[in-house]
Each structure stands twice: as structure tokens, then as C-alpha cells.
Structure 1
Amino acid sequence: MSQDLRVFLEQLEKDGEIKHVTEEVKREYEISTLMMALEKEHRYPVMWFDKVEGSEFPVVTNILGSRERFAKAMGVKTENISQEFGERVKNRFDNLKVVENPPANANLITGNDVDLTKFPILKHFPIDAGPYITSGLCVAKDPETGSDTCGFHRLQLKGKNKLGISFHSRGRMWEYFRRSEERGENMKMAICIGVHPNISLGSQASVPYSLGKFGAIGGLFGEPLEVAQCATIDLQVPAYAEIVLEGEVLANVREPESPFAEYTNYACFRSTENVFQVNAIRYRENPIFHDITPAMSSEHITIISIQREGDILKTLNQNLPNIKAVHSPLSSCGIFHCYISMKKIAEGQPQQALLTVLGMDHHIKMAVVVDEDVDVFNEQEVLWAMATRLQASKGVMILPNCMGETLDPSSDELSRSDKMGIDATKPLSGFSPKIEIDKEAQEAVKRLYKYTK
């Protein structure tokens, strides 16, 4: 399987999933406004903008905008994407494959010639503090163990060679920087723009701190991740990245960064206020600048949802039998709610599932368990089960003042959040039967569909 984003985009082009905009668009607001309009229409094409004001490079967005696209990248059925993710990230390939002359070596800019403004870095919404790189995959190493990590962090354009960056507090990158700063050292870091969807998805994998992310990403490809050495720092990055920014996060330096339109669909003023100094830029010939529309867009959220579902399925299957499906819906920003369907064979099993899920992930604020006859990917069915199978005094548990998500605007000043577990399953016996459609009639009436069109 090719690990090159360009090969993947070529296939999407053949499949008719890419729409080209040939007229010039502005850097401010126009692209994100169009993408949010398509979002409301539940349309998720890859949009390719050939001409962006003030830049010679195109912008491509919504590459990660649907489950179908992630499934295509992994070569699996869409309905199996979360389970496949959870299984594949366990099948690590820690022996990386080194590519000696990666495509990004075609252009190298260093020193005073570094100029980020040549790239079409967009300002997405009026609330944003400035233009932001939203698809920057940040790569660094633990200064103590040497384990690699990579993840997406918002990057505010502050100057020709300077970006503001906010680390997800209490996350892996934040911890690696804390360890570097404690030693009085800047943290060497590279930022990759334009990588294969499997790399983007694999970067979200939950792995032990002692293990690197690159090995888990290889699991999604079913082979070692192909990497290349940076030109100016001792880091390896995905070999086929379109653009690579090399530099360091400055120790003991903080500057205002925010507000930013976060995935919660609210402006976020919280920030770790770190500063990334860009010392070198490498990029491919005719580089493709990938932009992710921020706020509550499918491209911003789907990747989170798939990762959460895969991790939750993996954990539940270790503790309980008969788990059927898990869904983290778009309506909960892909992160705050979780729906679980199971075949209940003993009373108390839903509560065990709820405690497992609420305890394994500090982001999840509400978990709902339903019976196997409820499709958790159809939110109307989940709400129906809650309406007809739930009595709050018996089926709801509330856990106050738990560790929560910093970007949740409803969390308190210490990022604490209440959690709620809901058992919306039927009792094992004595409950009204659900209305079923006759199977033979269901087949027979297919001949009548022509009259409904």
C-alpha cells in the first residue's frame, strides 16, 4: 500500500470525489465558509482550490471528511473502520523503513530565507487570533526515552519564522516539552503538512508512553512506516510529507495564542501559549497545502470519533462479552458522548460497561448503553431507546468532578467535568415486545418500490 498522500488523491480523483475550484479565493474566510455550507448540506467532497490569494500553491481540504474515505485509505469496509483501527494499532511495526532521498528534499530553505507567508495559511473565522495551520502533524521525541510521538496541534502564524502553538495540556507532546524545559532545553520538533490519511488517523492512537506512535501507524498500513531524516534536526518524519517545517519549541518562552475556533464549535481562549521557531523548510515540487476546516466540521471531528470508537471497542471486548458496536457521534463533537450496543445476558452488565468507558477516557462525559437491536449509528434509535426503556431514577449514574477536557467550555477552571452513565437497556424479562415487520412481506413489497419514485 502506498504511503503517499498524492497516490491516495489520485485514486479519489478517479473516483470522482475531488471538486476543483479554478477561480481565485481569498485567504480569509472564503474556504472555511464554503466548507461549513457544504457541512450543513451533509456533503463531504474533497475541495481543491487551485488559486489562493497571495500564494502559488493550491489548498486541498476535506481529505479526512468522511468515514468512507478513511475506510478507503485502510482498504476496509466503512462499517468495520473503528474495529479495524483498534485491532491494527496493536499490530505494531517498530522497525521503520528509512527513505534516503524523500520528495520534500526537492526544496530546502534555511536561515533568513525562511518565510512561512509564501504558503496559503488561512484565517478561517473572524474569532480566530490570526491565520492558522490546522493540518500540521507535529513530530517530536521524548528527551528521556527517545520514543517518538506525533499529533495535531493548532499553529498560529505569528511571523515569517514563528508559530504560536498550543499543546493539549496533559497530553504526550505537552509532557515531552515539560521534560525538555525542565532540562533547560528547547524541544526539537518538525511539523508535517500533507500526509496519508492512515498517518493522520494513526497519530491519534492511544499507546503507552514507552512506545512510539510510528509503530502503531505502521499497523494501519500493515507494514513499517516509511520515514526520512530531517535536514537540520535529529528527527525522522513520514517520508512523503508535502511540506516539513523544522525547528524547536522555545523553553521558558510564552506568548498569547488564541482565540481559535475549536471542534466544540466555540471559541477557545485556553492555550499553553508555546512558541515554535522555524529554522528550515523543506517541500516537494508543487506542494499540496492541506487545510482542515476547524470548528465543528466533519474533517475536524471524524478522525477523533473513529479513534475513540476503536479504543473503546478494544477495551470493552477485553472485559465484557457480546459488545456489538460503539459510536461517538458528530453531535458530541466526536469526543464527549459514547453510544454502546450490547447483547445483555446478565443484569448489571450495562453498568460495568458504563464504568469501564467513563473511566478509560477523560474526554467522555456521557455514555449510553442500549440493546443489540438498536443501531448506535442512528441517533434517532438511541434517543428512542432512552425514551422508552429508561427510568432516570434506576438507569442514570452521575460521577461529579471528574478529570475533564480542557477545551470543553462547560468544564470548570480546573478542567473538571461531571460524567453521566445511562443504562437504556430492557430488563431481561417481562418487557413489552418490540414491533417487528413480517420478513416475507418485507421482501414481497420490494416490487412496489417503483410506484414510490
Structure 2
Amino acid sequence: MSQDLRDFLKRLEREGEVKHVTEEVKRAYEISTLIMELEKEHRYPVMVFDKVENSAFPVVTSILSTRERFGKGLGVEASKVSETYAERIKKRIEEVKVIKNPPFAEHCITGDDIDLYKLPIPIHFPIDAGPYVTSGLCVAKDPVSGVETLGFHRMQLKNKNTLGISLHSRQRLWEYFRRSEEKGQSLEAAIVIGVHPNIALGSMALVPYDQGKYGAIAGLFGEPLEVAPCATVNLQVPAYAEIVLEGEILADVREKEGPFAEFTNYACYRSTENVFKVKAIRYRQNAFYHDLTPGMSSEHITVVAIQREGDVINALHQTLPNIKAVHAPFSACGLFHCYISMKKIAEGQPMQAIYAAFAVDHNIKMVIVVDEDVDVFNEEEVLWALATRLQADKGVSILPQHLGMGVTLDPSTDELSRTSKMGIDATKPLSGFAPKIQLDDEVREAVQRLLKYAK
């Protein structure tokens, strides 16, 4: 399987999923506003902006907007994406394949020639503090174990060689930087822009701190990850990235960053206020700039939801039989709520599933468990189960706010980013419950001939 985003986009182009805007667009607001307008119409084409003001680089966006596209990256149907992710992310491949002369080595800018303003970094929303790199995956190594990580972090353009970066997830990169700063050292890092969807998806994986992300990503491809060395920092990055920014996150330096339009559909003023200093810009011939529309957009949320579903599936399968499906709905930003369907064979299993899901990720605030006859990807059915199978005094469990760790970007958390959590058992009792109305399968098949009269 090709690990090059360009090959993936060529396939989408052949299949008619790519649309080109040939007239010049402004950096401020126009790109993100068009994408959000298309999403209101439930349209998710990959958009290529051939001409962006004051830049020689075209912008490509909406690559990661749909489950169908992630399915194409994994080679499966859209309905199988989460469970495929769950299976493959466990099949780590530790070896990497080193590409000595990667495409991004074609151009290298260093020293006083570095100028981030030449990249078409957009301003996405009026609330934003300035232009933001949104699709950049930050690569770094743990200064203790030496294992690598990469993940999405928002980055504000500050000047020609500086980005403000927030490590607000309080997870791997934040911890690696903390360890480095504790030693009085800046943390070497590289920002990769424009990578295959499998790399974007695998970057979200929850793996132990003593294991690298590359092994998990390789599992999604089913082969070693192809990487290449940086020129100015001791790191290896995905070999087919369109653009690579090499540099370091500065120790003992903090600078105001934000606000920024986050996936919650709110402006976020919270930030760790870190600073990334660029040492080199490297890019491919005819490179394009991948922009990920922030805010509550499909491209911002879908990748998070798939990862969340897959990791919860894996956790549930360790202790519970008969799990049918897991869904992290768009309505909860792909992060805060989790719907689980299961065939209950013993009372108490739904609550076991709820706390297993909470243990996977501190971002989850509410878990709803329903029976296997409820489609968790259809939110109306989940709400129907709540309406007809739940008695709140028996089926609802609440963890108080002072006990629950939340996510900094959630505006409802307290000043310490703590959140309450709620688990809901919306399953039927094992016996004595009203039967669900069903249609006769033979008659359903027979009336297919009559559907033409309703067209």
C-alpha cells in the first residue's frame, strides 16, 4: 500500500471526489467559511484551492472529512473503519523503513531565509488570534526512553520563524516536553504537514508511554512505516510528508497563544503557551499545504471519533463478551460521549462497560449503553432507547466533578479541567419487558416491488 498522500488524492481525483477552485482566494476566512457552508449541505468534497493570495503553495482541505475516506485508506468499507482500526492498531510493526532521499528533501530553507509567511497558513475564524497551522503533526522523542510520538497540536503563526504551540492534551508531547524542560533542555521537534490518512488516524492512538506511535501506525498499513531523517534535528518523520518544519519547543519560554476556534464549537482561550522555533523548512517539489478546517467541522472531528471508538472497542473486548458496536457521535464533538450496544447476558454488564470506557480516555464525559437491537450510529434510536428503556433513578450513575479529569478545551470544566461524568444503562431487563414491534421479513421483501410507486 502506498504511504504517499499524493497517491491517495490521485485515487480520489479519479473517483470525482476532488474539486478545484481556480480563482484566487483570500487567506482570511474564505477557505474555512466555504467548507462550513458545504457541510451545512452535507457535502464533503476534497477542495483544492489552486491560488491563495501571496503564496506559491496551493491549499488542499477536507481530506479527512468522511469515514468513507478513512475506509479507502485502510482498504475497507466505511462501516468497518472503527473495528478495523481496533484490530490493526494492536498489530504493531516496530521496524521502520528508512528512505534516505525523501521527496521533502528537494527543497530546504534555513537561517535568515526561513519565512513561514510564504506558506498559505489561513486565518480560519474571526475569533482566532491569527493564522493557524491546523493539520500539522508534531513529532518528538521522549528524552527518557527515546521513543517517538506524533500528534495534532494547534500552532499560531507568530513571526517568520516562530509558532505558538499549545500542548493542551496533557498527554505524550506535554509529558515529553515537561521531562526535557526539567533537564533544562528544549525539546527537538518537527511539524509534518500533508500525510496519508492512516498516519493521521494512527497519530491519535492511545499507546503506552514507553512505546512509540510509529509501530501502531505501521499496523494500520500492515507494513513498516516509511520514514526519513530530518536535517537539523535528530528525528525521523514520515517520508512522504509534503512539508516538514524542523525546530524545537523552547524550554522556559512561554508566550500568549490564542484564542482559537476549537472542535467544541467554542473559542478556547486556554493554552500551555509554548513556543516552537523553526530551524528549517523542507518541502517537496510542487508541494501543497494541507489545511484542516478547525471548529466543529467533520475533518476536525471524524478522525477523533474513529480513534475513540476503536480504543473503546479494544478495552471492552478485554472483559466483556457480545459487544456489538461503539460510536462517538458528531453531536458530542467525537470525543465527549460514547454509545455502546451490546447483547446483555447478565445484569450489571452495562455498568461494567461504562466504567471500562471511562478508563480508556479522560475526555469521555458520558457513556450510554443500549441493547444490540439499537443502532448506535443512529442517534434517534439511542434517544428512543433512553425514552423507553431508562428509569433514571436506577439506570444513571454520576461521578462528581471533583473526582473526574476532563479536557482543558471543554469550556464547562472547572479551573483545574475537572469534569463530572455520567453513565447511563438504557438496556432492557433480561426478562419481563414489552416486546419490540417487528415487521415480517418475508413481507418486507415482497413489498420492495411496490416502492416504485412512492418515487
Question: Structure 1 length normalisation: TM-score?
Answer: 0.99
Whether the 8 Å contact between 2:82 and 2:310 is mirrored in structure 1 is yes
Q: Which residue of 2 aligns with 1:128?
A: 128
* Per-residue CA distance 1:91-127 (angstroms, 9 max, x = gap): 1111100001000111010000000111100000000
Q: Which residue of 2 aligns with 1:333?
A: 333
Q: Which residue of 1 aligns with 2:28?
A: 28
Q: Which residue of 2 aligns with 1:84?
A: 84
Q: Which residue of 1 aligns with 2:430?
A: 428
Deviation at 1:438, TM superposition (A): 1.1
CA RMSD between the two structures? 0.6
CA–CA separation in structure 1 for the residues paired with 2:421 and 2:75 = 36
| 1:442 corresponds to 2:444 | yes
Q: Which residue of 1 aligns with 2:407?
A: 405
Q: Which residue of 2 aligns with 1:300?
A: 300
| 1:241 corresponds to 2:244 | no
CA–CA separation in structure 1 for the residues paired with 2:238 and 2:358 = 34
Q: Which residue of 1 aligns with 2:290?
A: 290
CA–CA separation in structure 2 for the residues paired with 1:359 and 1:211 = 19
Moved more, 67-76 or 34-43: 34-43
CA–CA separation in structure 2 for the residues paired with 1:394 and 1:91 = 40
Deviation at 1:38, TM superposition (A): 1.1
Whether the 8 Å contact between 1:255 and 1:274 is mirrored in structure 2 is yes
| 1:276 corresponds to 2:276 | yes
CA–CA separation in structure 2 for the residues paired with 1:190 and 1:355 = 36
* AA matched with 1:270: R
| 1:154 corresponds to 2:141 | no
* AA matched with 1:280: A
Moved more, 165-174 or 228-237: 165-174
Give runs of ≥4 in structure 1 deviating > 2 Å: none
Q: Which residue of 2 aligns with 1:204?
A: 204
* AA matched with 1:422: I
CA–CA separation in structure 2 for the residues paired with 1:409 and 1:163 = 24
* AA matched with 2:325: A
Aligned with 2:357: secondary structure?
helix
* AA matched with 2:163: L
Whether the 8 Å contact between 2:114 and 2:160 is mirrored in structure 1 is yes
CA–CA separation in structure 1 for the residues paired with 2:96 and 2:43 = 37
Deviation at 1:358, TM superposition (A): 1.7
| 1:265 corresponds to 2:268 | no
| 1:115 corresponds to 2:107 | no
Aligned with 2:233: secondary structure?
coil
Q: Percent identity?
A: 71
Whether the 8 Å contact between 1:27 and 1:120 is mirrored in structure 2 is yes
Aligned with 2:400: secondary structure?
strand
CA–CA separation in structure 2 for the residues paired with 1:428 and 1:211 = 42
Give the paired residue count.
453
* AA matched with 2:316: L
* AA matched with 1:419: K
Aligned with 1:32: secondary structure?
helix
CA–CA separation in structure 2 for the residues paired with 1:68 and 1:348 = 35
Deviation at 1:376, TM superposition (A): 0.2
Whether the 8 Å contact between 1:169 and 1:272 is mirrored in structure 2 is no
Within a 5 Å distance, the mapping from 1:13-412 to structure 2 comes to: 13-401=13-401, 402-412=404-414
* Per-residue CA distance 1:339-364 (angstroms, 9 max, x = gap): 00000111111111111112321111
CA–CA separation in structure 2 for the residues paired with 1:169 and 1:8 = 29
CA–CA separation in structure 1 for the residues paired with 2:448 and 2:184 = 71
Deviation at 1:168, TM superposition (A): 2.4
Whether the 8 Å contact between 2:311 and 2:360 is mirrored in structure 1 is no
CA–CA separation in structure 1 for the residues paired with 2:186 and 2:349 = 49
Structure 2 gap ranges (5+): none
CA–CA separation in structure 2 for the residues paired with 1:89 and 1:355 = 22
Aligned with 2:280: secondary structure?
strand
Deviation at 1:200, TM superposition (A): 0.4
Whether the 8 Å contact between 1:128 and 1:260 is mirrored in structure 2 is yes
Structure 1 gap ranges (5+): none
Deviation at 1:169, TM superposition (A): 4.2
Aligned with 2:326: secondary structure?
strand
Whether the 8 Å contact between 1:20 and 1:48 is mirrored in structure 2 is yes
Deviation at 1:77, TM superposition (A): 1.6
Aligned with 1:403: secondary structure?
coil
* AA matched with 1:278: V
Deviation at 1:170, TM superposition (A): 2.0
Aligned with 2:433: secondary structure?
coil
Aligned with 1:417: secondary structure?
coil
CA–CA separation in structure 2 for the residues paired with 1:65 and 1:407 = 21
Aligned with 1:63: secondary structure?
coil
* AA matched with 2:188: K
